[in-house]
A and B are shown apart, each in its own frame.
Chain A
């Protein structure tokens, strides 16, 4: 009785508002709108525009005409001889760095999980490579790789590991690729280590105690408990890192920009070179879109390797 009288007294506009709040489905869509707008503007539009560009002969400042798959044909035929090099390099770069980041990150996480003085400080400091603006740190690396005037070769020569003058890091094809990989591993490992550390710390300690009483050695505890319990974290980290490394641009751009002789050419760099300095934005878009199906294959491969062993 009391509530009925009260409802009559409420203003009509207020009643309407209450009705919207009470209906879950319309309210749900209403609340989704801002997110959809943001995603639409910043993700969907550039993506679709990229696809459109890739099937035109657009140049910078000139939205061109539809040319079908002409740009892709250019890549496929390997017209300037670089496409397959770039694809192979991208796979090599991603594959090698991922293996190293995974292994080093795991070792680092295990070490950081031990008790030692200043542990919190060291854990925080570990993230530094990840925090420093990449252009700064990559410029520093480029300087350190300088064969005559810089620290890496000075150390190598003075510890008699190599003969004077030491390797020409960025000027020789194989060395340049190694240098790129070293810098990528340097920057990417902390991400793996921190994620693994978080994963290790939520493993219940009594599992290790049970395993110790069951007779497991340290190594057996690692392979039988730590590794399997890390599987979900491993999966997420590996996927994220593979995607980011596959499309990596900043490091290779600052350090070598594809040089020498396209030996460190990656798809991302090549797309940029055609699209922006080269002005052929349509071709650039087509090159970077090639990443998309390749990346899908790689991700499927990673998921397949890490599937639950049932």
Chain B
């Protein structure tokens, strides 16, 4: 069990490729922290620096209060689960899981009891004598987790551990990982590009882009109060609608709508952010109203998405699937003013 601190950490692979740029992040003991962002945003590099697999160009990484910059991986007492699982193909499941203990010179009986215990938790008891190539994708993934668990490390580092599983198994394993986190009470640092994984699993989420940390907050806060257009667009599916507006005092005017902002932002131009799920089917007199010309509609059973135009701006709205709509219809929808966002078009930072 340990806390992890990144202090102004930078990683350059060459003079002009910066993978991680001045990252400062502190992860509390027993926290489940998710690093999320598109591929190439530096999230994996940040994790690999913590594991000791990459050198740190500048800054410091601390585990508890100890600076680990120069410490070899074997002394950091962290365990890592790789996207490829990196199972040793020539060893049995038992030997794969016992490897870390063996390298540290644990006794045979201790290895035996710890591996058996982990195998029981992960339902691998019947497979201990198998080789990785005789296992299914889901079983391999559990062996990779088991190899980390038996070590009883100070922190678990997980690098996209679910991305090689099929959709069903991914949801299932996601839930099992959360249970495991609760049971083990250890710090988890989890890297993913999948915002659903981030939202569902993280105690807090760190959103990264181009090596730069954008925002760190609990899932609800990230969703409700994104600090900039990037975070607002990355978290949430379908993504938030962005409408350029001109502003005079309280009035904001887009190509096909006009509304009264809850407070005067003090800027002349802005970008309105409205999530597709924040449109209201029932329009009352004082709500802002849009008139959506529907171009495509998708019915998903529990949801219905309308893709269309308001004036000259593209827009997506999530509505009740019972609502009878056809292509080319004009649909009047209200806007939930309490969930409205406004961004500065120059800096892309949130105004509110």
Contacts and interface: CB of A to CB of B under 8 A. Distances in A.
Given A210-B82, A212-B73, A216-B103, A229 B53 contact: no
B80 interface: yes
Nearest to B82: A206
Nearest to B157: A213
B86 A206 contact: yes
B79 A211 contact: no
A215 B100 contact: yes
B147 interface: yes
A215 B88 CA distance: 14
Contacts of A216: 74, 99, 103
Nearest to A231: B90
Contact of A213 (B80, B88, B89, B91): B80
Contact of A212 (B52, B89, B90, B104): B52
A contact patch SS: helix
Interface string A218-245: 0010001100110100000000000000
Nearest to A216: B103
B96 to A, nearest CB: 9
A217 interface: yes
Given A214-B99, A215-B100, A215-B104, A206 B84 contact: yes
Contacts, number: 59
Contacts of B100: 214-215
B227 interface: no
A174 interface: no
B51 interface: yes
A184 B100 CA distance: 42
B82 A212 contact: no
Contacts of A204: 84, 86
A213 B52 contact: yes
A184 B78 CA distance: 49
A220 B103 contact: yes
Interface in B67-88: 72-74, 78-80, 82, 84, 86, 88
A209 interface: yes
A32 to B, nearest CB: 33
A210 B90 contact: no
State the majority secondary structure of interface residues on B: loop
A39 interface: no
A172 interface: no
A207 B132 CA distance: 13
Interface residues of B, number: 22
B86 A210 contact: yes
A228 B147 CA distance: 19
Contacts of B209: none
Contacts of A210: 80, 82, 86, 88, 147
B99 to A, nearest CB: 5
Contacts of B86: 204, 206-207, 209-210
Contacts of A214: 74, 79, 99-100, 103, 147, 151
Contacts of B51: 209, 213
B107 to A, nearest CB: 16
A206 to B, nearest CB: 4
Contacts of A211: 88, 99, 103
Contacts of A231: 90
A213 B104 contact: no
A209 B103 contact: no
Interface string B24-54: 0000000000000000000000000001110
Contacts of A212: 52-53, 72-74
Interface in B54-74: 72-74
A214 B88 CA distance: 12
B142 to A, nearest CB: 15
Contacts of B79: 213-214
Contacts of B104: 215
Contacts of B80: 209-210, 213
A207 B51 CA distance: 14
B53 A209 contact: yes
Interface in B205-260: none
A196 B116 CA distance: 37
A47 to B, nearest CB: 38
A229 B84 CA distance: 17
A26 B343 CA distance: 75
B82 A209 contact: yes
A224 to B, nearest CB: 7
Nearest to B78: A213
A229 B88 CA distance: 9
A28 B108 CA distance: 56
Contacts of B90: 228-229, 231
A94 B52 CA distance: 45
Contacts of A225: 88
Interface in B86-125: 86, 88-91, 99-100, 103-104
Interface of A: 204, 206-207, 209-217, 220, 224-225, 228-229, 231
Interface of B: 51-53, 72-74, 78-80, 82, 84, 86, 88-91, 99-100, 103-104, 147, 151
7 contacts: A204-B84, A212-B52, A212-B53, A215-B74, A216-B74, A220-B103, A229-B90
Closest 9 A-B residue pairs measured CB to CB?
A214-B100, A210-B86, A215-B74, A206-B86, A215-B103, A228-B90, A212-B73, A213-B80, A216-B103
Given A213-B74, A228-B90, A229-B89, 17 more contacts: A206-B86, A207-B88, A209-B51, A209-B53, A210-B86, A210-B88, A212-B53, A212-B74, A213-B53, A213-B80, A214-B79, A214-B100, A214-B103, A215-B100, A216-B99, A225-B88, A229-B90
